Chain A
Amino acid sequence: MQDNILAASTTSIAEAVRAERNTLGLELPYAALSMLGAISDDRVFYRVAQNGLTLTGYDDLPIDVSDEAEILFKTEAFRSAVIRSATLTRKISVDGRLNDVTVTVAQTREGLGEISARISLIALLVGLGFFVLAVSLSAFATGRTLRPLDVLANAVSRRGPSDLRPVKAEAPTEIVPLVTALNRFIERLETSLTRSEDFIAEAAHRVRTPLATVRAQAEIALRRVERPENKTALRQMIRAVDESSRSAGQLLDHAMVTFRADHMEFDTVDLSALVADTVERLAPLGDLKDISLRLGTMPSNAMLKCDPILIQNALRNIIDNAIKYSPGDSDIDIALTADDAHYTITVRDEGIGFSDMKTSELARRFSRGPNVGEIVGSGLGLTICKEVAIAHGGTLEMKDNPGRGGCVSLVLPH
């Protein structure tokens, strides 16, 4: 939609450029900008250049020469905002000499006003936030038309989670910056693994605070805008942020799990208390959807030598997931059972269960969300739970309940 109008605007301007005596003249068509104003309240920038020198418009707007008769689209940052631009180059003869006339028309793409522009900027600025959000924003904005991102997504998701080599997918020029950012992030992640947990925490801080700002502002904006299309766009933005932060969180958690699995800090803890505590912490999340977290009977004195932080994280991942995929007004049952050799933590929900899902959907369920999940953190939630289980010599099992819903069990040997 935006692209079509940007293209129409660019073309109308390019057609209005005329050779006048020894120079070029242009009467900027009214419709060229009014048509952009009709789709949203976004900011509009344009530039007309003759052989690379500005003829009129915004001098600082980046331009690229496109092939004649072909419109080049780009998404980039400009003046504290993310813009979508269309560029068209025409050759016009003045005094018998050919001139490259390049017309670029750009529009910010938040559709929502300054709040979102700030949001996008902040989001773009920070290392991982930059990468994940840029991908998700452009993915939701361009829908499924951006095939190159799929290529990148596959390149990233095909590899194993411990594979931290740089990405070398055949990247089309449009996403080269993203690949670079991703590689820089992986590089940083690798360094952080060889350094300390503090470093990871610091990295998380750098990413999460801006994302929190973005999300908070988007939520406030959601309350303020009235047009349904703006609300939809904002919801998508919040979803993108959540998916970004979740992916970021999972990558960092995963880094931490990998790190800790090598340097496990075993403690003897009361597993019943740990489960009860985790459930209590998550209860408010369930409340929001009127979902009750019900704690079953628990064995007394369920002492286990384990890394409690890892176990808690895995359990949190499982319950969090159950909440997300359960219908409102339902129950989630959490229980801890013991036999001679194992403790088993089970989480039962009344959601759609697992057997009805394909394996790929399963992975998606654990990475939450159709966009970013597939691109960066595919299956990481699941992977983290599994790795935690494995690090303790246990297993992670998923099956359907006899009636309805799914059941995830974390089985840990004594």
Chain B
Amino acid sequence: MRFLLVEDNPELSASVVDRLSLDGHAVDAARDLSAAEDYLASTDYDLILLDIMLPDGDGRDFLTRHRRDNRRTPVIVVTARSEISDRVGVLDLGADDYITKPFDFSELQARCRAVLRRHDGNARNEKQVGDASLDLLAGTLSVAGIPKPLRNRELRLAEVFFAAPERIFSKSHLMDRLFSYDEDVSENAIEVYVGRLRKKLEGGNVQIETVRGLGYRLVAEV
């Protein structure tokens, strides 16, 4: 998926690009509204992440124009403004969702996914490994043609594995992707979710392999 990020703080912008790229998205970063318009004129985006207070104007004006011109790209407003004063306003102006700074990357990811799913029920973003395919938007795994619904954490775990088949992921890396820092879980919790995902993968030629002492990886039998 191709995202446009409109954010004037360069460090925050770089961090968001960094993280979204990790999830396999291509992200263009615009520092202000005029740069955003330039990007939009030349490229089709699946989603726009829009800050409200920008050096050359108010993101809400951009939003109004965006909707007035009937541009369909969904917009998630990334707002630093007080929740009470701002939230409802941007939705009224046509934003698809909002997230308040500071935000959790997992939450941002979840909101992006929810908006993309809502925006176009038929949209597909599939990753194929062996005979298993993962639909990131619908949140389903299909193994040898049989669909298997995933819960959110199973989906996120699958997303990590499917993004890089063959690569070994340590337990601690998976922990960071699956749990927020304030959830008091041990590394064994990963085993639980890996176990669940293994069950879902049964019946196909793809499996999660334990690499002793290192972690897990997704492999397809040949």
Please say whether the chains A and B touch (CB closer than 8 A): yes
| Residues of A participating in the B interface, judged by any CB pair closer than 8 Å | 118, 122, 197, 200-201, 204-205, 207-209, 211-217, 219-220, 222-223, 226, 228, 231, 234-235, 238-239, 241-242, 245, 249, 252-253, 256-257, 260, 281, 283-285, 287-290, 308-310, 312-313, 316, 328-329
Most buried by A among B12, B105, B113, B172: B12
Give the number of residues in B that approach A within 8 Å (Cβ atoms): 42
Q: A213-B11, A288-B180 are in contact. Are A219 and B105 (CB under 8 A)?
A: yes
The 8 A-B residue pairs with the shortest CB-CB distance, nearest first, are: A212-B101, A216-B15, A212-B102, A284-B110, A235-B181, A208-B80, A215-B102, A208-B101
A257 close to B84 (CB less than 8 A):
yes
> A223: which B residues are within 8 A, CB to CB?
22, 173, 176
Q: Closest A residue to B106 by CB, please name it.
A: A288
- B210 adjacent to chain A (CB < 8 Å): no
Please report the C-alpha to C-alpha distance between residue A208 and residue B113 in the assembled complex, in whole angstroms. 24
> A213: which B residues are within 8 A, CB to CB?
9, 11-12, 15, 102
What's the nearest-Cβ distance from chain B to residue A140, in Å?
12
> A281: which B residues are within 8 A, CB to CB?
97
Per-residue contact bits, chain B 144-155, to A (CB 8 Å; 1 contact, 0 not): 000000011100
Q: Closest A residue to B82 by CB, please name it.
A: A204
A201 close to B101 (CB less than 8 A):
no
Please report the C-alpha to C-alpha distance between residue A207 and residue B80 in the assembled complex, in whole angstroms. 8
- Chain A to chain B contacts (Cβ below 8 Å), 19 pairs: A197-B85, A200-B85, A204-B82, A208-B81, A208-B101, A208-B102, A211-B102, A217-B11, A219-B15, A219-B19, A222-B181, A235-B182, A238-B181, A253-B82, A257-B84, A287-B152, A312-B87, A328-B153, A328-B183
- B93 adjacent to chain A (CB < 8 Å): no
- B61 adjacent to chain A (CB < 8 Å): no
| Residues of B participating in the A interface, judged by any CB pair closer than 8 Å | 9, 11-12, 15-16, 18-19, 22, 52-53, 80-88, 97, 100-107, 110-111, 113-114, 151-153, 172-173, 176, 180-183
B101 close to A313 (CB less than 8 A):
no
From A201, A239, A253, A290, give the contact of B181 (CB < 8 A).
Answer: A239
Q: Closest B residue to A324 by CB, please name it.
A: B182
> B181: which A residues are within 8 A, CB to CB?
222, 234-235, 238-239
